[in-house]
Structure 1
Amino acid sequence: MPDRRTAGLFAAAALAVLTAGPAAAQEVREPGLTPYVIKDYAVEKPLTGKPGDPAQGRKWAITSGQGNCVICHRLPIPEVEFRIGNVGPDLTEVGSRLSAAEIRLRIINPKTVNELTIMPAYYRVTGLHRVDDRVAGKPMLSAEQVEDLVAYLSSLK
């Protein structure tokens, strides 16, 4: 159970989101990455200009060192034996709740939707903290991998 201060912060954040109205479009450019536009908590256009491959996206969802979604989220992937799957929201039917554009933003940079999330930004290279020198300046996922994950997660209905 959250304490009063935490509960108050969550209530204030929820009120801000509910009363903010549509957000202005914001173009995001980072070195070496495809630019994209965030509008209304979504990125409408695929980073690659074309849809991803859901079968590949399913692969990234269970690949350690890539998407590895199953470490925090429940997904309909029964062959994965070890998974925590209860830290983040259940993604079993995420394609029924969120559009592909909303899913895309949550993969690219979930902090734009919820600044308190512990989910990492999979398609960012700037403004990050505690990044190992070996991977500095590289996104966790390529534009193609992001689109593959979007295609897979959008198919979950």
Structure 2
Amino acid sequence: MKTGSAFFLSGAMALAAVTFAGTANAADTAPNDVAFNEMQVSESLTGMPGDPAAGADAFKNRKLGNCLACHTTTAMESELFHGNVGPDLDGAGSRWTEAQLRAIVVDAKQVFGPDSRMPGFYSLHVGKNVAEKFHGKTILSAQDVENIVAFLVTLKDE
């Protein structure tokens, strides 16, 4: 990892910690009730399909998913500051199923193991040294997760 990338990553993680979503609709699956089965989350968190356009917006929004801090994709090539910590997401919709992508976004540590640098965006297991006001809150809402998953599914191999 380049020094600039490390600085950007630590800044991005700090920003993510400051921007926890923490709100949920009554119909949303609660973070502790998300059912992981063989590294997949088959059921929608909201019971409604995600919006790929809203997912693209959340993907690049530094106050929401901030996925670009760690990932690249040509779908976002006009955006600045793509990271290189995580894999390139071109073809993500061909490599992973919707259920697998949902599991990765909800809590990557349950998919890739505890050493994954990717945070659990819809998990209450936020790690150590988190400000008390963020305890019991998620980084993304359930709908944000569904929207990002809907966007990722569109990233197919040509």
Q: TM-score interval w.r.t. the shorter chain?
A: 0.7 to 0.9
Q: Flag the structure with larger Rg.
A: 1
Gaps of 5+ in 2: 1-28
For residue 135 of structure 1, what is the aligned residue in structure 2?
Answer: 134
Q: Structure with the greater relative contact order (CA < 8 A, sep ≥ 6): 1 or 2?
A: 2
* Secondary structure at 2:132 match in 1: coil
For residue 152 of structure 1, what is the aligned residue in structure 2?
Answer: 151
Distance 1:150 1:47 in 2: 11
Distance 2:78 2:42 in 1: 32
What percentage of residue pairs aligned between the two structures are identical? 36
Gaps of 5+ in 1: 1-30
- CA-based RMSD of the aligned residues comes to 1.7
Q: TM-score, normalised by structure 2?
A: 0.74
* Secondary structure at 2:76 match in 1: coil
Q: 1:93 to 1:129 in 2, by over 3 A?
A: same
Q: Which moved more, 1:94-103 or 1:75-84?
A: 75-84
Q: TM-score, normalised by structure 1?
A: 0.75
For residue 103 of structure 1, what is the aligned residue in structure 2?
Answer: 101
Give the counterpart letter for 1:132 in structure 2.
Answer: A
- 1:34–1:47: 8 Å Cα contact kept in structure 2? no
User: Across the two proteins, how many residue pairs are aligned to each other?
Assistant: 126
Distance 1:62 1:33 in 2: 23
Superposed CA offset, 1:104-142 (max 9, x none): 000111111122211101001146322123322110000
* Secondary structure at 2:44 match in 1: coil
Distance 1:73 1:97 in 2: 15
Distance 1:104 1:123 in 2: 10
Distance 1:106 1:40 in 2: 12
Q: Name whichever structure is richer in helix by fraction.
A: 2
